[in-house]
Chain A
């Protein structure tokens, strides 16, 4: 059975590193985890993932309007190029292209001084 006085006696011959190794280990683990979190946050923000993550705060109002991509029909890459294949491709292509060609884009007018009423003397009102 090791008594407290034995432990104290043993500690006298230990280096500072040996005396505080548990504390060093805990600190080390925290430092490593902070570095890993910082690296992963950096990757998340800089590789474009953040821009498609609509679970972030601020996107609650529009989250349910995301179109689902898993039900988009694919054109088969094998087979003959006959009239049926052409018709099928034209139908699928028209469906998809209509969804992008008819969309109003990212015009700069929405961020103009007038639209934002940034210089309004009567006070800006919210854009609906």
Chain B
């Protein structure tokens, strides 16, 4: 009997773990219903299937862009920034500013992937909705995806700012090293 209770508790706990992130995600992504006229609702209903095909193309292209961008950002962080910071440190030189940017850059990659995940979930939801039956919900989901896409764009801009900042700090480091009498030992 005790064993059965243990199994039952494990199953309930597993379901609770399973359901909680979904409930949280749904809570986070509740769209704010837009005020639309009857004529606009009718137009959404009429155009929504074509709009969904366009959205699926955007979805595919964005997926590709996200994979390629993340690959390049990870390569910059792990194959260029981190080895350079390590080399500066091994040569007993001061590269604190560059190392700080590397840490910030790695954190920003995580923010970018998390923001993209939210956007992708919303866009996927808009693709699977029965838009003819739920035109207002469909429009609100697209609106939410639009604002989340804009947020992803901001995260990409921030990553690019850090890429530029790192190379500026690198040039300042190099200039400082030369003015202090040459290169490392």
Contact = CB atoms under 8 A, between A and B. Distances in A.
Interface of A: 31, 35, 38-39, 42, 46, 48, 50-52, 54, 58-59, 61-62, 65-67, 69, 72-83, 85-86, 89, 92-93, 96-97, 99-101, 103, 105-108, 110-112, 116-121, 123-128
29 contacts: A42-B22, A52-B66, A52-B70, A66-B67, A75-B87, A77-B83, A77-B86, A77-B87, A78-B87, A80-B185, A81-B183, A82-B184, A96-B80, A97-B76, A97-B167, A101-B163, A105-B156, A106-B119, A107-B150, A108-B153, A111-B142, A116-B142, A117-B47, A118-B47, A119-B47, A123-B50, A124-B47, A127-B57, A127-B58
B7 to A, nearest CB: 9
Nearest to A45: B121
Contact of A58 (B47, B60, B159): B60
B60 A35 contact: no
Interface in B65-95: 65-76, 78-80, 82-84, 86-88, 90-91, 93
A106 B43 contact: no
**What's the dominant secondary structure at chain A's contact region?**
loop
Interface of B: 11, 14-15, 17-18, 21-22, 25, 40, 43-44, 46-48, 50-51, 53-76, 78-80, 82-84, 86-88, 90-91, 93, 113-114, 116-117, 119-120, 127, 139, 142, 145-147, 149-150, 152-153, 156-157, 159-160, 163-164, 167, 170, 174, 177, 183-185
A3 B152 CA distance: 73
A111 B56 CA distance: 11
Contacts of B87: 75-79, 81, 85
A96 B76 contact: yes
Contacts of B117: 48, 51
A105 B174 CA distance: 31
The main secondary structure of chain B at its interface with chain A is helix
Contact of B93 (A31, A81, A124): A81
